[in-house]
Amino acid sequence: MRQQYVRRSQFLAGALALFALAIIVQLTRIQNSPEAAIFRQQAENYAYEWKTFYPNRGEIYDRNGRLLAGQKTVYEIGVDLNTVTDPHAISFAVSNTLGMDYNQIMNVLQSPPEGISYIVIADFVEAHNALYLQELKKALNDEAPTGSVGGLTGLQFKAHPQRSYPENALGSNILGFVNREGRGYFGVEEKYNDLLAGNPVQVLVPTDPNKAFEIPDVADGTTLILTINRDLQAAAEDILDDSLTEYGATEGVIIVMDPQNGELLALATSRRMDLNKFWNYDVVYNNATDFNPVISKTYEPGSVLKILTMAAALDSNTVAPSTTYLDTGSILIGGVTIQNWDRNPWGVQNMIGCLQHSLNVCMVSIASQMGASTFYGYMDAFGLGHLTGVDMSGEAAGRLKIPGDSDWYPVDLGTNSFGQGVAVTPIQMMAATSAVANDGRMVIPHVLYAMVREGRQYNVPAQYGGSPISTQTADTLSEMLAISLESESSLALVPGYRVAGKTGTAQIPVNGLYDSSETNASFIGWGPVDDPQFMIYVWLEKPSTSPWGSDTAAPVFSEMAQKAVILLDIPPDTIRHQIAAQ
Residue 577 — φ and ψ, nearest 5°? -70, -35
Averaged over 381-406, what is the pLDDT? 95
**Exposed, middle or buried by CB within 10 Å (0-12, 13-18, 19+), for 60?**
buried
Q: What's the rounded Cα separation, in Å, for the pair 112 and 162?
A: 28
Pairing of the two strands 500-510 and 513-527: antiparallel
DSSP letters spanning 498-523: --EEEEEEEEEEETTEEEEEEEEEEE
pLDDT at 514: 77
Q: Where are the alpha helices (DSSP H) in 74-212?
A: 87-98, 102-110, 127-143, 172-175, 187-191, 193-197
Partnered with residue 163 across adjacent β-strands are 71
Q: How many CB atoms lie within 10 A of CB 287?
A: 8
Q: What's the rounded Cα separation, in Å, for the pair 259 and 253?
A: 18
**Window from 25-29, 211-215, 281-285, 512-516 with minimum mean pLDDT:** 211-215
CB 305, CB 324: distance < 8 Å: no
Q: What is the pTM of this model?
A: 0.85
pLDDT bucket at 4, cuts 50 / 70 / 90: low
According to CATH, the topology of domain 230-276+288-581 is Beta-lactamase (3.40.710)
pLDDT bucket at 27, cuts 50 / 70 / 90: low
Q: What's the rounded Cα separation, in Å, for the pair 202 and 216?
A: 10
Averaged over 285-314, what is the pLDDT? 95
pLDDT at 164: 93
pLDDT at 552: 96
Q: What's the rounded Cα separation, in Å, for the pair 573 and 482?
A: 14
Between 153 and 232, the more confident residue is 232
**Exposed, middle or buried by CB within 10 Å (0-12, 13-18, 19+), for 126?**
middle
Query: Domains of the chain: which residue ranges?
Result: 2-46, 54-226, 230-276+288-581
20 Cβ contact list (under 8 Å, min separation 6): none
For residue 294, pLDDT over 70 is answered with yes
Q: What's the rounded Cα separation, in Å, for the pair 72 and 74?
A: 7
To the question of domain 54-226 being in CATH 3.90.1310.10, the answer is: yes
Rg of the chain over all Cα atoms, to the nearest angstrom: 36
**Window from 6-10, 326-330, 569-573 with minimum mean pLDDT:** 6-10
Q: What's the rounded Cα separation, in Å, for the pair 26 and 39?
A: 16
Q: What's the rounded Cα separation, in Å, for the pair 451 and 195?
A: 9
Residue 455, CB-side half-sphere exposure with 13 Å CA sphere:
0
pLDDT bucket at 6, cuts 50 / 70 / 90: low
Between 61 and 136, the more confident residue is 61
CB 266, CB 235: distance < 8 Å: yes
Task: Find, among 296, 278, 357, 311, the residue nearest to 478 by Cα.
Answer: 311
Mean pLDDT of the chain: 89
Q: What share of the chain is helix, strand, coil (3-state, %, to 5)?
A: 40, 25, 35
Q: What's the rounded Cα separation, in Å, for the pair 440 and 311?
A: 10
